[in-house]
Amino acid sequence: MITSISALSEHLDGLPVHSVLAHKDRFVEGARSLDLESALVGELGRVRDDHRYPPPMRSSRALNISAGKWHFVDLFVFDDREFVDPLTTHPSDTVYYFLGDGEYVLHQLNEYDNGIFSRDSRAQLVESGRVSAGSTLAIDASRFIASFRSAAPLLALCLSNRRMKAFSWDFNLPDGEPRGHYNNYALYTILEVMAKMIGNYGDADSVNALKILLNHESDTIKWQAAFALLKISAAEGCQAFRLLARSGNPQLASSSNMAVTQIQGVL
């Protein structure tokens, strides 16, 4: 029996399977034991007593309650009276345990691959309903987006994976069309920017570092690395784009093929 959030985190850290969806029942046991008032009074007290203490907010409306080795437990507040437009994908799989009443809608992601942006992807409304205190909702971030509204602010405990998808996507609420996507990790963005900078100011000594990025999980980082290599050396750039032309991402493959053709025309 899990009797506290810290016991829950300790328990989850010891498990071999690092998936929040697989441990929903354990999470509910822990969530039921949360002394919400004491948790909040504790955080406010730390702020009051030490101005150097940064409250562990993970966003403007999510207070981190526990940070395990592979998971987070956060207290979320949903205070929107209407469903928010755009719909944004969840950074990782999430299990919600609700502490109040509200409404939800569930959109299914069709023709969707987090790492490959496509205008054909759609978020399609498949379910709507009510949540109440003590109810749960488990979301597979690769397949669904859940969003909430409530007349009164709705609190929920959320269990999510530390490991995030590479990108967050926005979809228009009315028609489900994709609006754009952006990096979930600040690190990914800085790697892109660094690649651009090295491409402009680096030299032959920088080639090895850029080549490493050709193996990154993010295709936008791979692309920037290849482009940077091209700026330093046409031969290295051509070789990099040849590699990317074999990518499983059709957009990356086709753009890289075009790049190879153009570079060969110049060489």
Partner 1 sequence: MAVHHRFAVDASMELAEFMEYADAKTDMRDLDSLLALGEQLSMLGNNRRFLSKFLEDFIQANWNLDSLTATISQSVMLRSGRDFYLRANFWLPEAEMTESEALLFAYHQAHDHNFDLLSYAYSGSGYTTDLYEYDYSSVAGYVGERVSLVPRGNHRHACADTLLYRCNRDIHFQRPPETPSITLNVIPTANQYGLQDQYFFEIEKGDSESGVLSRYAESNIESRRFLFNVAKYVRSERLVRVMCDVIAAYPCRRTRYEALRALRECDAGAHDTMVHQLRDDPSPIIQQYVHSVLSGVPASA
Q: Would you count residue 200 as binding partner 1 (CB under 8 A)?
A: yes
Which residue, 225 or 263, has its beta carbon nearer to partner 1?
A: 225
Residue 136 CB, nearest approach to partner 1 (Å): 20
- Indicate which single residue of 1, 81, 120, 186 sits in contact with partner 1 (rule: CB under 8 A): 186
Q: Would you count residue 231 as binding partner 1 (CB under 8 A)?
A: no
Q: Would you count residue 149 as binding partner 1 (CB under 8 A)?
A: no
- Indicate which single residue of 13, 15, 17, 36 sits in contact with partner 1 (rule: CB under 8 A): 36
Q: Would you count residue 69 as binding partner 1 (CB under 8 A)?
A: no
In sequence order, the 6+-apart residues with CB closer than 8 A to the CB of 214 are: 222, 225, 226, 240, 243, 244
- Specify burial of residue 196 (Cβ count, 10 A radius: 0-12, 13-18, 19+): middle
Q: Would you count residue 77 as binding partner 1 (CB under 8 A)?
A: yes
d(CA 215, CA 210): 10
Q: Would you count residue 93 as binding partner 1 (CB under 8 A)?
A: no
Of 24, 21, 8, 10, the closest CA to residue 97 belongs to 24
- Indicate which single residue of 81, 208, 265, 267 sits in contact with partner 1 (rule: CB under 8 A): 208
Q: Would you count residue 204 as binding partner 1 (CB under 8 A)?
A: no
- Indicate which single residue of 15, 125, 133, 197 sits in contact with partner 1 (rule: CB under 8 A): 197
Which residue, 98 or 106, has its beta carbon nearer to partner 1?
A: 98
- Indicate which single residue of 205, 265, 266, 267 sits in contact with partner 1 (rule: CB under 8 A): 205
- Indicate which single residue of 84, 126, 193, 235 sits in contact with partner 1 (rule: CB under 8 A): 193
Q: Give me the helix-helix angle, 234-244 and 219-232, nearest 10°.
A: 160
DSSP 85-120: SSEE--SS-EEEEESS-EEEEEEEEES-BTTB--TT
Residue 217 CB, nearest approach to partner 1 (Å): 9
**Is the backbone of residue 168 left (phi > 0), alpha (psi -120 to 50) or beta?**
beta
Q: Would you count residue 57 as binding partner 1 (CB under 8 A)?
A: yes
Other C-beta atoms closer than 10 Å to the C-beta of 44 total: 11
Contact region with partner 1 (CB under 8 A), list: 14-22, 104-112, 132-140, 206-214: 206-214
- Indicate which single residue of 2, 12, 43, 141 sits in contact with partner 1 (rule: CB under 8 A): 43
Q: Is the peptide bond before 86 cis (omega within 30 degrees of 0)?
A: yes
Q: Would you count residue 16 as binding partner 1 (CB under 8 A)?
A: no
- Cβ contact 142:114 at 8 Å: yes
User: What letter does residue 204 receive in the DSSP assignment?
Assistant: G
| Per-residue buried b or exposed e for 158-193, using 16+ beta carbons within 10 Å of the residue's own CB | bbbbeebbbbbbbbebeebebeebebbeeebeebbe
Return residues touching partner 1 (CB under 8 A). 36-37, 40-41, 43-45, 47-48, 51-52, 54-55, 57, 59-63, 75, 77, 153, 155, 162-164, 180-183, 185-198, 200-203, 205-206, 208-210, 212-213, 216, 220
